[in-house]
Amino acid sequence: MMHLVALRHSHPPRSAEYPLGPMEYARLGRTALKVSRLCLGTMNFGPHTTEADSFKIMDRALELGINFFDTANVYGWKRGEGITEQIIGRYLAQGGGRRDKIVLATKVFGTMSDWPNHSHLSALHIRRACEESLRRLQTDHLDLYQMHHVDREAPWDEIWQAMETLVAQGKVVYVGSSNFAGWHIAQANEAARARHFLGLVSEQSLYNLIDRTIELEVIPACQAYGLGLIPWSPLKGGVLGGLKKADEGRRTGDLQQRTITKHRSKLEAFDAFCAQLGHAPADVALAWTLHNPVVTAPIVGPRTMDHLEGAVRALEIELDEGALKKLDEIFPGPGGPAPEAYAW
């Protein structure tokens, strides 16, 4: 059985290029690939952030040393158009070494049209979707190609055959998963092992102080198989950004407001504790995800430049055992890994 290799951080020299401190880098799971400890999420590019502002955010991310960019073929939320991928493609087309500096990740699974075989993980759709993402992103390869969801109807031999073909063609370098259960990770990587294929190297999961279910099965599976964990929504859609900002941005949405109402007492305690620490709630919430050795890079999805600049501050926060214990008291997890969490 494969085991997670300890993350190794490397630091660029301090200079004016890194005014908020040096970026940290880590190996993505068991691979030799080095990525920044923050991943730039691009889901807001198009629907909430203009193309011009998206370009500025991506340029600033590179200036800050963020080299890990994540997107998906369905982002932009106009079926089949891949609007966010198109924006990134036009950004990369400007040249200036942008593509070579970026570890570019996108995803496949979502419905791209009402026509049969234009969704999920058939070999046909995987290969077609890859070609379409390459065209929109204006690149000849994807550094990390992620399955956006498990497809329970697709045999693993079919999926891996398609991925092996893309790797052999030089169109994909690494393969990852997103929203997989722990047993899906095991099933996928055992099938890949039988084919002498590298298999999954990363898992992108919902993970934050409020949503900690993956501590039961997914995180142990990532540890066992050497997958880097890439948490999405580390701020719970902005809810963990502080109650003082509860009426700003995404927090005004129905889902966020229901979450705030449900967890208000915990959020009030969290805000008070962050004030004691002397750090913004959003920075503490990000720092909490970063303290877990399985986590490679939480995804930060800025709508504005200020959101991006703020996220980098989390790298400067060291949470000691006392702080971690207090956060566990405020936001209790499931009790650790299964089965001990519920059996003994």
pLDDT lower than 50: segments of the chain: 1-20
Task: Please state which of the four CATH numbers 3.20.20.100, 3.90.1150.10, 1.10.10.10, 2.60.40.10 is assigned to the domain occupying 25-343.
Answer: 3.20.20.100
Give the bridge partners for 40, in sequence order. Answer: 69, 300
> CA–CA separation, 330 vs 265, rounded Å?
9
pLDDT digits (tens, 9 = 90+) for 318-335: 999 999 999 999 999 999
Report which of 228, 234, 294, 318 is spatially closest to residue 32, judged by C-alpha positions: 228
Q: What is the pLDDT of residue 250?
A: 63
Q: pTM of this prediction?
A: 0.92
User: In the annotation, is 75 catalytic?
Assistant: yes
Residue with tokens 């900002």: 245
Active-site residue, selected from the candidate residues 75, 145, 207, 225: 75
Domain boundaries, the chain: 25-343
- HSE at residue 172, side-chain half, CA atoms within 13 A, is 30
> CA–CA separation, 145 vs 276, rounded Å?
41
